[in-house]
Amino acid sequence: MAKNYTPYRIAFYIGIVVVWQIIAMVGIWPDNIFPSPYEVAEDLAYGAADGSLLYGIATSMWRLSIGLAIAIGGGIVLGIFMARVEVINQTVGSLVLGLQSIPSIAWVPLAILWFGLTDGGIIFVTAIGAIFAVTINTYTGVKNINPHFIEAARNMGAKGSQLITAVLIPAAFPYMISGFKQGWAFAWRGVIGAEILFSFLGLGFLLNAGRSLNDVSQVIGIMIVIMAIGLVVDGVIFKRLENKVMSRWGLR
């Protein structure tokens, strides 16, 4: 039975807050440079009360959901084609590897030129930042399928879309889950980075607004919210999905 480390995590984060509060109380740095946890919490409470924080979270999550959905759908299709058609792998595959090395934030200027300061530009940056991780992991998963399984499925009459949906995707799913997790991480960074540069609503906009106003409490508070959302999505959604898939495959 796996050991429950939740109490240790809670104690660890409480310890961080306590140390943070002590340093703030000592007054090594002024409040406008190093605010206390109370001041940060107060700033977040104010943002929640006037609705700006909740609206920012909802806006960023909406953009993330659309961008990640596009990345997952496109990545699965492209990854399967790369794994099954060698010409595509040798041509498009090399391009995918090259494009993966481009940070999401580097796509922002192109997104602004193509889409303007709109939601479409932010969603584009979000999707393009995640699609290559999904593609590569899907490719790896399909490539690692035992050829005898595919041959047996074909002998039983599976072909075309049926072969893909009934054999390739289920067999490659453990690898695809890793791609989804990586894609989510890249997409989350991409949407926040794009919102900062687009200055167009969302958590990234609130982060940049705090910088413009020299409000360190708001900057730190929004960073904590971004981190918390990342931990929740990774731990509640992807971790459970990963554990379920791995248990079904007997890998855990």
Cα–Cα distance list, 94 to 33, 86, 121, 159, 218 (Å): 46, 12, 26, 27, 42
Query: Which structural domain, as residue segments, surrounds residue 172?
Result: 57-249
| 14 pLDDT above the threshold of 70 | yes
**Residue 34 domain-assigned (yes or no):** no
The Cα–Cα gap between 226 and 192 comes to: 9
Report how far residue 236's alpha carbon sits from residue 12's, in angstroms, rounded to the nearest whole number: 20
Q: What local confidence, expressed as pLDDT, does residue 171 receive?
A: 77
Q: How many domains does the chain have?
A: 1
The Cβ-side half-sphere exposure at 236, using a 13 Å CA radius, reads 6
Residue-wise pLDDT for 40-59, tens only, equals 999 999 989 988 999 999 99
Instruction: Establish if 17 belongs to a structural domain.
Output: no
**Residue 219, domain CATH:** 1.10.3720.10
Residue 69: inside a domain: yes
pLDDT of residue 8: 78
Q: Is the pLDDT reported for residue 3 higher than 80?
A: no
- How far is the C-alpha of 235 from the C-alpha of 242, rounded, in Å? 10
Residue 76: its pLDDT value, please?
Answer: 92
Place of tokens 């918390």: 228
Please choose, from the candidates 218, 225, 207, 226, the residue with its C-alpha nearest in 3D space to the C-alpha of residue 35.
218
Which pair of tokens denotes residue 94?
A: 């090399």
**Is residue 166 situated within a structural domain?**
yes
Look at residue 3 and tell me if it is in a domain.
no
Domain assignment present for 144:
yes
Residue 149: pLDDT band by 50, 70, 90 thresholds?
A: confident
Residue 14 inside a domain? The answer is no
Please tell me the predicted confidence (pLDDT) of residue 157.
67
- b (16+ CB within 10 A) / e for 8-33: eeeeeeeeeeeebeeebeeeeeeeee
35 lies in some domain: no
Average pLDDT rounded to a whole number, residues 6-20 = 86
